[in-house]
Structure 1
């Protein structure tokens, strides 16, 4: 049995990715920061269909906790699956939000950096000895960081970090290729998730009035759903993605096409 780690899987895209990986026969270690109930829901959904999952708490913005988290992963692997490696790592945890350039504080900039770029960088580094040769890493980026993506005022800090994650994806694909480890990123467009912004306000639940306008700007005529992205993440992590590495794939239904 393969085993994957999905970081930030208590709701939305991460939850979908965890469930999709389990549906393909993988055991799942999933993480959450504050939404323990959501993490339990993810575990329950996986177990309901005969899968196996373990939920661990992790704050991706606190890299000093990564060594202890790695030891928790080692223990979970041994106790639940009797193995000492993982096959997939999905770096999904994050938060959204916007601030115009002139209003972006160093505190907000640093928080974006810690969670969206530094966190995935050093968490992947910490877990690298546990990733099996021939495994896969999938990073969750954003269409806002793509050269062809729509540039919106207020996302300079957020998109900068996601752009850095895209570069990291390509660099790691090169470095880890010697072990057969593939590294890719998905870049969702507007997607119906519970992703909170910097103030803790939850996305489309708080602003449902923006959905029709976003759908109207999307070629396929609707807002993205977590499963639209989670399915691709699972495919990239699995055998379907065996000849894909170093890519940043937009998953937006043709947003602003």
Structure 2
């Protein structure tokens, strides 16, 4: 059994923003549990990188849109932690997992709507609820939103609306969990050049140039622009930040 350690659980930690969050948290001396939906190979690479840096890590499969699987997932994670650390608890929950949808409002099907809302709002709501008994008092919850909850680009009505719901949920969680000294914040990235949403920002030169043109710092974001902010919000120095929406977009659409 190892001595008391600090543990973060990150959903969607195998690639993109989640991967960078996991690595930045490990740099701060935090052990990491990450989830992946289907790409176990990439998740295992992240785990190996964290272990090579001297921290502990593990990856578990989770579909954050499937709320029926959450009880079994929590049992799996808490059982692992009990065995590895002597406690089933975590200190930080980062709700990051997600998929994109770029579809005009008039062409969005109910099936697509349900998929996005289940992953980006319902899943966040109920996974946090299931994890709450195992979050240490004084811990942190960080919900990942999007700049699209502030500014509007056609084709993102469902995704952005779900992220807007998460931002409201963040404030309610901060209010209700204050007695346990659990701070809850939102990080809202701007457009990021990863494979998210089919890699449109990364691979489409016109889209990338459009983003750069409306961003004060003159470029699209990279995954490395986001992870350090999440890691900071899990640091002692950020303990008095609560119920805030922190946009990390380079000054997009200002």
Normalised by the length of structure 2, the TM-score is 0.95
Q: What is aligned with 2:234?
A: 237
Q: What is aligned with 2:145?
A: 141
Q: What is aligned with 1:189?
A: 190
1:86-101 matched pairs, under 5 angstroms = 86-101=90-105
1:137-216 matched pairs, under 5 angstroms = 137-146=141-150, 150-195=151-196, 197=197, 201-204=198-201, 206-216=203-213
216-225 vs 107-116, greater mean Cα deviation: 216-225
Structure 1 residue matching 2:226: 3-state secondary structure: helix
Question: Are the counterparts in 1 of residues 200 and 207 from structure 2 also a CA contact under 8 Å?
Answer: no
Runs ≥4 residues deviating over 4 A: none
State how far apart, in whole Å, the 2-side matches of 1:240 and 1:93 are. Answer: 26
State how far apart, in whole Å, the 2-side matches of 1:182 and 1:194 are. Answer: 30
* Unmatched 5+ stretches in structure 1: none
| Cα drift, residue 209 of structure 1 | 4.1
State how far apart, in whole Å, the 2-side matches of 1:206 and 1:58 are. Answer: 28
State how far apart, in whole Å, the 1-side matches of 2:248 and 2:237 are. Answer: 17
Q: What is aligned with 2:119?
A: 115
Count of equivalent residues? 250
* Unmatched 5+ stretches in structure 2: none
State how far apart, in whole Å, the 2-side matches of 1:208 and 1:36 are. Answer: 30
Question: Are the counterparts in 1 of residues 191 and 201 from structure 2 also a CA contact under 8 Å?
Answer: no
Structure 2 residue matching 1:41: 3-state secondary structure: helix
State how far apart, in whole Å, the 2-side matches of 1:177 and 1:63 are. Answer: 26
State how far apart, in whole Å, the 2-side matches of 1:193 and 1:236 are. Answer: 22
Q: Pick from 48, 51, 59 the counterpart of residue 47 of structure 1.
A: 51
| Cα drift, residue 222 of structure 1 | 1.5
* Partner deviation per Cα, 1:148-206 (whole Å, 9 max, x = no partner): xx2111111111100000000000000000100000010100112222x4xxx344454
State how far apart, in whole Å, the 2-side matches of 1:239 and 1:85 are. Answer: 18
State how far apart, in whole Å, the 1-side matches of 2:133 and 2:205 are. Answer: 43
State how far apart, in whole Å, the 1-side matches of 2:116 and 2:125 are. Answer: 13
Structure 1 residue matching 2:246: 3-state secondary structure: strand
State how far apart, in whole Å, the 1-side matches of 2:231 and 2:145 are. Answer: 15
Q: Pick from 6, 26, 29 the counterpart of residue 25 of structure 1.
A: 29
Q: What is aligned with 1:103?
A: 107
Q: What is aligned with 1:247?
A: 244
Distance change >3 Å, CA 23–CA 186, structure 1 → 2 = same
Aligned residues: CA RMSD? 1.2
Structure 2 residue matching 1:55: 3-state secondary structure: strand
| Cα drift, residue 207 of structure 1 | 2.6
State how far apart, in whole Å, the 1-side matches of 2:20 and 2:240 are. Answer: 23
Is it true that 1:14 corresponds to 2:15 in the alignment?
A: no
Q: What is aligned with 1:71?
A: 75
